[in-house]
Structure 1
């Protein structure tokens, strides 16, 4: 298992397209629900324990070699918003390009051929983790971190928030990131024994609603 590969996959500079997405933070800022570092912490914590847990478990299951078709269907079923489903597939396509360049191999090639319009991003990320020699908890950690680091980076731009404050929010969330990654990995292992219905299905209805509104904005800074 390569810790260096984990750092590459989790690096915000990995060209997987995440920089163009705010994870719902842009809509929350415009609505006045996210105005400062304390609001960012609450937003990230809520996202981490709902959609973050669900996505992390999907990635962990992919890293364990679960059927990608069934996983992609499971991801669709757990993503109520059409706008977020479309965003997940766009991110999946971009992640696939980056992952195939970094860790070329048959698993990623087969997934790319099976989903020419893009699989859900967590499914691609988990497959990339597997190709890189990483395990399910590693994949889950990548997703958990991305779940909170994306909004934190976006809010620095959206609010002009002090980047030191944004980084402090992420640092304080570290124990919860570890907890969510471990829960996701355990759930993925159980799902391989009992079926994918055992994967978490935690959701955030407000993120789904605001994603649909955000997608209709004529002008926006972030894609989602």
Structure 2
């Protein structure tokens, strides 16, 4: 396989076609063209390893096959699980803002059972955001759902209401802690079971509230 050459592989009785879009001594990039499109993947040889490996040799051909197979399996997973992926996508990005790194990490970790390379995540995000499912040439799959018709799990007002409820409970908790601390001081400190048990119970309730509301 040379630069920009199209090639195909067999994966579970399915012919998968792709093309090498860039190939040099240290970098190779592959794009899938059938049965899906819209995804590409690349691999880079670190400087210190270049005397031992080169993508212009048979090693590059084997890597191209591995990259194409990975892209196909990723695309197949997106297609077969598009409904779940779309719902989680809407839940993690309710305002259509995809740049927040924390939200991205949570989305990929909770959605895919395998690791998505960092340099491929942008394409996956753009793909799901633009068409709601993996593109197939000339047509949409029967599972195609435009992302714009999905509703987020919660609204901004719901979030503010939850935060207010948490704040009110914490204010009450602070008052209760102060009361029990006064009791503890009045009896001279030490291990006052009643006060300690009450404080521990309130802290546990607050922790549970944070886990369910925040």
- Report the TM-score when normalising by structure 1: 0.28
More helix, by proportion: 1
More strand, by proportion: 2
- Report the TM-score when normalising by structure 2: 0.29
Q: Which is higher, the Rg of structure 1 or of structure 2?
A: 2
Larger relative contact order (CA 8 Å, sep ≥ 6): 1
